[in-house]
């Protein structure tokens, strides 16, 4: 059963990928854990010092990892939508091909495809899913897209319901409404699971710019559980979670040396 989804975000270069790897390793000692990179500039392979590809790979006994490729993700999603629409509205085949092309190049194509893909991971037998996100701006857009999609599918469902009334009067059946409800239910599921099980670690260093981005992430995701983490921290006292500096924290054995007890306590006890 999925216990928790842990998302690492923040400014580029603050060490969020390193902390994601270390956290996944630690949790995998007792739980089946998936480490997932959705940052287009993947770094899991370099940090773990083992090859990770676009398919799920087994890293240790209980740790699995995957680096999602943005173009591949969007391509698969657009083909999935196109196939579903062709089965539902076969008379619009040529127009649907053009729609699929436009869908691939829409402003939030990657975020939409990613949210749809996450539903599949939720149904896998992982206890923890650790997500290494892109820098702050793209992560915020992912959460905003989530809310927009729910409203968009609700609107389309209402339109389809009105059209269905006309089809019923004409003695015809239109399967579009079932398709829209299916898509809407997937969006609702990803929103429900994230709201119930997600923890966001806004990773910063001690410099003002990364601290400012951490504050921004907390502000934008105020409806979720967001904790600021100071990585490579030299402060003795701080109101935030902290991870002390460790030289060369790369490779599985070195990652185990990172002092992330404060993060694990939040994950387990929240």
**CATH number of the domain bearing residue 32:** 3.40.50.300
Residue-wise pLDDT for 62-90, tens only, equals: 999 999 887 887 888 777 777 776 666 66
Q: At what angle do helices 109-122 and 136-169 cross, to 10 degrees?
A: 80
Question: Is 81 part of a structural domain of the chain?
Answer: no
Distance in angstroms (rounded) separating the CA atoms of residues 3 and 254? 26
Three-class SS of residue 102?
helix
Tokens of 180: 């829209």
Its domain, for residue 11, covers: 4-69+110-148+177-269
**Residue 173 scores a pLDDT above 90:** no
Residue-wise pLDDT for 48-61, tens only, equals: 999 998 899 999 99
* pTM of the shown model: 0.87
Question: Is 160 part of a structural domain of the chain?
Answer: no
Question: Is 128 part of a structural domain of the chain?
Answer: yes
**Residue 169 scores a pLDDT above 60:** no
Which pLDDT belongs to residue 104? 67
Which pLDDT belongs to residue 174? 59
Domain count within the chain: 1
Which pLDDT belongs to residue 79? 78
Question: Is 237 part of a structural domain of the chain?
Answer: yes
């Amino acid at each position: 059963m999925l216990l928790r989804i842990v998302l690492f975000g923040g400014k580029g270069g603050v060490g969020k990928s390193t902390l994601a790897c270390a956290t996944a390793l630690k949790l995998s000692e007792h739980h089946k854990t998936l480490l997932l990179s959705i940052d287009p500039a993947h770094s899991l392979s370099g940090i773990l010092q083992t090859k990770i590809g676009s398919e799920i790979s087994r890293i240790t006994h209980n740790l699995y990892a995957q680096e999602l490729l943005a173009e591949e993700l969007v391509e698969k999603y657009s083909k999935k939508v196109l196939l579903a629409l062709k089965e539902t509205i076969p008379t619009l085949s040529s127009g649907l091909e053009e729609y699929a092309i436009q869908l691939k190049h829409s402003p939030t194509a990657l975020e939409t495809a990613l949210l749809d893909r996450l539903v599949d991971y939720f149904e896998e037998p992982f206890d923890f899913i650790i997500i290494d996100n892109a820098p702050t701006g793209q992560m915020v857009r992912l959460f905003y897209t989530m809310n927009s999609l729910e409203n968009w599918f609700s609107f389309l469902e209402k339109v389809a319901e009105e059209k269905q009334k006309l089809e019923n009067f004409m003695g015809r059946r239109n399967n579009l409404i079932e398709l829209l409800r299916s898509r809407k239910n997937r969006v609702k599921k990803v929103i429900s699971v994230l709201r119930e099980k997600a923890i966001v670690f806004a990773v910063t260093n001690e410099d003002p710019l990364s601290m400012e981005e951490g504050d921004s992430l907390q502000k934008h995701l105020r409806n979720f559980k967001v904790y600021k983490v100071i990585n490579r921290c030299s402060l003795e006292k701080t109101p935030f979670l902290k991870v002390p500096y460790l030289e060369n924290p790369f490779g599985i054995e070195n990652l185990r040396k990172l002092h992330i007890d404060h993060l694990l306590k939040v994950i387990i006890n929240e």
